[in-house]
Structure 1
Amino acid sequence: MRFCAALAATILTLLTGVVPACAERLIVSVSNHRVTVTPNYSGEELVLFGSVEKDDKTPANRGNYDLVVTISGPRAELVTRRKERRFGIWINTDSREFLQVPSYLAVFANRPIDAIAAPEVQRRQQLGLTNVLLTQRIGTDYADVVATDPFRSAFVRLRTEHGLYREATSAVTFLTPTLFRTGIPLPAEVTIGTYEIEIKLFSDGALITKADTAFDIVKVGFEQFIANAARNHGLVYGLLTALMALMTGWMASVVFRRD
């Protein structure tokens, strides 16, 4: 009976992906939990820092640690389009919709992910851009596809060119055997909302423990007022915008009128 119970618990852990109880724990924080976006905002870099805390249950032969940090921005539905040259002009010929994918996605590690964990562990833990789940609408189906899929590759490439998707395998620095830090670059095009950070600790290819933290990007000043008006009073905002456009056009006609 004891063997059956232990076997059932092991199978449940493998199926659910729950990290078993361990002797280490992660203590993490970010340099700023609230990033404000103003009219002259051009990007910023936060610092994630933390430490690995051990206790008397930590195995004496525990080897060096590895860390994989994944930062995910607010989720949205995005579309990638394929263009082809037809009759001398470039037109959209096909498209693929990505459903509830991170608007910002960064994966940082202290060394190459292939050296941290085996391929099956990478897929199960979604380590790296090639293993992160990016659900697509394919006809009437919803699924992620292989990393070499042309639409998926183009989507990741375009987001990477704008600094919104990135992967760096030497971005996490261990200052001591247990103290670490990494920078989180935020380009000017970041989306407003909550950014989730997941930190996973590995040793000898196995996941030891993980921790989570987050930070918010918010608008302040006039931009925040406009955003709140558009979100909470859509009809009034639309009418005022149309009225302002009409007034601007009328004033331009008066100023540049030729008598």
Structure 2
Amino acid sequence: MRRRATCSTIGLALLLGSAFVAGDARAEHLIVSVSNHRVTVTPNYSGEELVLFGSIERDGGAPVPRTGYDLVVTVSGPRVDMVTRRKERTLGIIWVNADSRQFLQVPSYLAVFANRPLDKIAAPDILRRQQLGLNNVLLMQRVGPDYADVVASDPFRRAFIRLRAEHGLYRENTSAVTFLTPTLFRAGIPLPAEVPIGTYTIGIKLFAGGALIAKTDTAFEIVKVGFEQFVATAARQHGLLYGVVTACMGLMAGWMASIVFRKD
């Protein structure tokens, strides 16, 4: 009896193990890369577009789901603190700052790309949980004495996103991801002329039938080169000397201008 029980236990373990391997063999994996991992900003930089491309690998050669795949790409730039102000007209002619809201450690650049509308890809609760879309991404704010995100319809939140979008720094495009084949895809990542310097992360999430089935990430860096980089480095590492030199240059420029425009 003991031997039979032992054999049964081993058989059950082997069965479970084979089922686990079979389930794992059907798993999807994302392989991605970006056209340029280091973008250099020069004095005449006017923006450019990077290309994210990749493939969906299926272990065991299982067929593509009948409904196909969906892909959501989120590009996030360096995090910074920012303030959004609301202006009001005073005395009918003067605009003054009436109120403000501070946004804490929010992405300086944020782009969300997909192959079709987000509400067609997954349920609203999944989109919120995965922070997919400008309305679902976490934008921490100082609200009075508290720190929290607010509803998507909050006036300050909407104004913040709108102002960033006007400069091309926040965007959402649900037709930017293109499937070249059922498992090969590409997406363009536009970078405006005033793109912030720093490290950018790219999060790629794969869906099938409304469920998240795989995810991966990659990154690229934006750096200044040339004279702009020299000035930025000097200001950061040698602040006192930079201030003295700048003041001297200003005095020299004023003195030379007084000579050029002097009336005898």
Common fold by TM > 0.5? yes
Residues 105-144 of structure 1 deviation map (CA, whole Å, 9 limit, x = unaligned): 0000000000000000000000100000000011111100
Separation in structure 2 between the aligned mates of residue 60 and residue 45 of structure 1, nearest angstrom: 30
**1:233 paired residue among 231, 235, 238:** 238
Does 2:229 correspond to 1:224? yes
- Per the alignment, residue 29 of structure 2 pairs with 25
- Per the alignment, residue 12 of structure 1 pairs with none
Q: CA deviation at 1:239?
A: 1.2
- Per the alignment, residue 197 of structure 1 pairs with 202
- Per the alignment, residue 46 of structure 1 pairs with 50
Amino acid in the other structure paired with 2:75: I
Alignment CA distance shift 1:61-1:180 (3 Å): closer
- Secondary structure, counterpart of 2:59 in structure 1: coil
- Per the alignment, residue 176 of structure 2 pairs with 171
Q: Report the aligned-residue RMSD.
A: 1.5
Does 2:96 correspond to 1:95? no
Q: CA deviation at 1:237?
A: 0.9
Q: Following TM superposition, where does structure 1 have runs of at least 4 consecutive aligned residues deviating by more than 3 angstroms? A: 57-63
Does 2:119 correspond to 1:114? yes
Q: CA deviation at 1:222?
A: 0.8
- Per the alignment, residue 11 of structure 1 pairs with none
Q: How does 1:123-162 map to 2 (within 5 A)?
A: 123-162=128-167
Q: CA deviation at 1:63?
A: 3.4
Identity, % of aligned pairs? 76
Separation in structure 1 between the aligned mates of residue 240 and residue 146 of structure 2, nearest angstrom: 35
Separation in structure 1 between the aligned mates of residue 64 and residue 178 of structure 2, nearest angstrom: 23
Separation in structure 2 between the aligned mates of residue 104 and residue 242 of structure 1, nearest angstrom: 33
**Bigger Cα Rg:** 2
- Per the alignment, residue 90 of structure 2 pairs with 86
Residue segments in structure 2 that go unaligned for 5+ positions in a row: 1-22
* Contact residue 65 and residue 208 of structure 2 kept, 8 A: no
**1:185 paired residue among 186, 190, 195:** 190
Structure 1 or 2: larger helix share? 2
Residue segments in structure 1 that go unaligned for 5+ positions in a row: 1-19
- Secondary structure, counterpart of 1:99 in structure 2: strand
Q: CA deviation at 1:51?
A: 0.3
**Aligned residue pair count:** 240
Separation in structure 1 between the aligned mates of residue 130 and residue 222 of structure 2, nearest angstrom: 26
Alignment CA distance shift 1:75-1:60 (3 Å): closer
- Per the alignment, residue 4 of structure 2 pairs with none
- Secondary structure, counterpart of 2:126 in structure 1: helix
Q: CA deviation at 1:253?
A: 1.0
Separation in structure 2 between the aligned mates of residue 234 and residue 120 of structure 1, nearest angstrom: 48
Amino acid in the other structure paired with 1:118: A
Separation in structure 2 between the aligned mates of residue 35 and residue 191 of structure 1, nearest angstrom: 11
Separation in structure 2 between the aligned mates of residue 233 and residue 141 of structure 1, nearest angstrom: 37
Amino acid in the other structure paired with 2:46: S
Q: CA deviation at 1:75?
A: 0.6
Separation in structure 2 between the aligned mates of residue 74 and residue 46 of structure 1, nearest angstrom: 17
Separation in structure 2 between the aligned mates of residue 149 and residue 64 of structure 1, nearest angstrom: 36
Amino acid in the other structure paired with 1:211: T
Per the normalisation by structure 1, the TM-score is: 0.90
